[in-house]
Amino acid sequence: MKTSRLLMLAAGGLAIAGLLIYTKQGKRLTSNISSSAGDLTNKLGDLTKNTRSSISDFTSKLSDRFAKNHSQEVVNS
């Protein structure tokens, strides 16, 4: 009887220890995933900002070129 109680107590202790270790690793994994998601969000934000800047530059240059060409057409006519 004492042996079976001891075995049950040991098994319970191991189960609790295993659960604590698993929970710690789960928190660490969740933290890593959260950190990676944050990094990805920041990179996407940078990409969006750079894309907007590039589009704005392109539009500005195109507008300048159109205005320059249009003004030359007016002078030539």
Write out pLDDT tens, residues 24-34: 777 777 777 77
Tally of domains in the chain: 1
pTM: 0.45
Which residues span the domain enclosing 17?
3-76
d(CA 11, CA 5): 10
For 14-70, the pLDDT digits (tens) are: 888 777 777 777 777 777 777 888 888 888 888 888 888 898 889 998 888 888 877
Give the residue from 35, 76, 72 showing the smallest Cα distance to 43.
Answer: 35
